[in-house]
Structure 1
Amino acid sequence: MEHLVNPLVKDVQISGIRKFYNMVADIEGTISLTIGQPDFPTPMHIKEAAKQAIDQDHTVYTHNAGYLELREAASEYVWDKYKLSYDPANEVIVTSGASEGIDITFRTILTPGNEVILPGPVYPGYEPIIKMCGATPVYADTTQNGFRLTADIIEKYITDQTRCIVLPYPSNPTGVTLSADELQDIAELVRGKDIFILADEIYSELVFDQEHVSIATFLKEQTIVLNGLSKSHSMTGWRIGLLFAPLAISKHILKVHQYNVTCAASISQKAALAALTAGKEDAIPMKEEYARRREYVYSRLQSMKLDIVKPDGAFYFFIKLPEGYPSSLEFCLSLVKQEKVAVVPGDAFSPLGEGYFRLSYAYSMDTLEKALDRIETFLA
């Protein structure tokens, strides 16, 4: 019966990140720097809020968009942090992780034949959904611009079919972000055009040397903002995303969300409420530790004479392959076989990622030190 499966689904491939992780998972003694997941436990007060929610029987459906008190807290959170103003009654949707937010956004705004501009290299979670909507991902080459998708680059890729531009900053896999001036230039470029901006800001609380700025500050009417608690509050498994959009857009996204999942998990929503209120600053000590790790890893990679762009946020380095390796996959396989360190081949992040590999530093200093010692031995 497989021949009857939707061909758009059959063409979708498993994420290159997970594919490589699974490939090397059974190699005994391997140190893995592959997964982008905080290594901190969820803060205790958040877990206690979830336990209390269970005891109080908050185990039924919520409003499709999520508990109103949670949407109010989310609205207040992005105002306090980023000066974004959204009506919690009808411009905020609590999603089952930011991944569902990506899905329901694309299914709302895309039709067959549309094009979506993405920075290349980029997180692999966008392309499959774009294709399943019958649209075409268009990768804009950022490799000669410090991995920054700026207005002058975007302009080269805009066509009559362009429906959306994806701005995931800070970026997975590069860790770079965009400045307020760069975002304002993009806003002026697309203002008034029939083009949406999908601003994936899941790493917004993990920016080290500057304040995070959202493009919605400059172009709210055309922007859909995605955020969530996975990275900021170490809540990856709780699956809580936050979607912000003007009413004219959000009212349609809500319909897709309703028929997709009905609502985000009620217990996780209660935990999220604690995260956004009592835990508003929970990300700060984690960010400080990531910044410390970044400096250590950066110093070690520099000493190895590797070609790198220092990340502004998140917890990744995207590193150019040393000479002598025909592909990122071959380099990563050689590294894991010889020194038992796993990193992610760059081609997992679009064809423009070929020639690089991604290293996650969301691991303890002890783990990073051992892994980098092995990488140094390998390169020598």
Structure 2
Amino acid sequence: MRGIHLLGATGSIGEQTIDIIRHYPESFSLRSAAFGTNTEKAAGWLNELRPEIISVQTEKAAADVSAVIDYKADILIGREGVMACAAAGGEGDILLNAVMGSAGLEPTLKAMETGMDIAIANKETLVAAGHLVMEKQKETGVKLLPVDSEHSALWQCLDGEAGGVEQLILTASGGSFRDKTRDELKGVTVKEALNHPNWSMGAKITIDSATMMNKGLEVIEAHWLFQMPYEKIDVVLHKESIIHSMVEYQDGSILAHLGTPDMKVPIQYALTHPRKLAVPGMQRLKLWEAESLHFQKMNGKRYRAFETAVEAGKMGGTAPCVLNAANEQAVAMFLDGRIDFLTIDNLVEHAVEKHEFHADPALSHVLSLDQETRSRVEGFLK
């Protein structure tokens, strides 16, 4: 029985994790859960899985949870609650970080101190402060288990291989606008941007997929997770999303991880590693039905956000933190209808170019810079 501490329990990754826990009650117990205000969605599983700590965002949500549950639990609010979830486990437990954005950084570091392994679905944690997370990982010896489909695929292709890697190859679907030129993106709507052709994901990550910022963030994440120089990380466009990632070795051989686009597969593998169990509701891949697979070279001029992200990753220091915060703010502004789609790229580029660079920021600097950058992006618009 493995205790699960789930941050972002009512989001897309969170919901699918709940399904896995329900499917394997003999293997997993939900020890703590953090979510925002969607108590209606959580009500379906709270009394069934009975987490000991429940963290919500507001007083009203706390009152709603209290009215729903039929057992005794600690109901906490805001940062205090999230940090309590992160501190509640120990060796043998696992924290699944599926919160949105840089809010996942502090609880990840706290959970590592308890000896919990970290299943990381929140790439922004490694983007904003990968150097701090990897320092903590060396200090504590806990495992960082990738949940992103691409990084899970790389992890599995690398498993048991002793060196000889030529390059890591991430695949990208191209997102909602993969068949449009950059000129055709002028005036696209939020609804159009949220219409991802392959994956069912939250709003923010779907917009990141459309700008291709998501793939740039994944390159930075891969750099930290696999300790691979940026020059050895490549990205190819693959619209079918059947090959999730590949590893090329020095002898010219390439190992690829294939499967249907189903996030339950990498989520479950992070929880069960090294075992592979049947995934509830999964559609098995039949290659003869796929008929053909397509690949294209990444075009940095078409996907400017991707290029900005990789350059920020190579700069290191404070640049990735600024990149991430500026992007989160710009995407929120687009979703609110305050800016157009192409302005996301412009605001992020400007924030990275204009910030005061520091090579080795401490946690306090990262956290303050995150907030400063968001305010600065608002100021750019004005």
Using CA pairs under 8 Å that are at least 6 residues apart, name the structure with larger relative contact order, 1 or 2.
1
Q: TM tier, shorter chain?
A: 0.3 to 0.5
TM-score by length of 2: 0.32
Greater helix share, structure number:
2
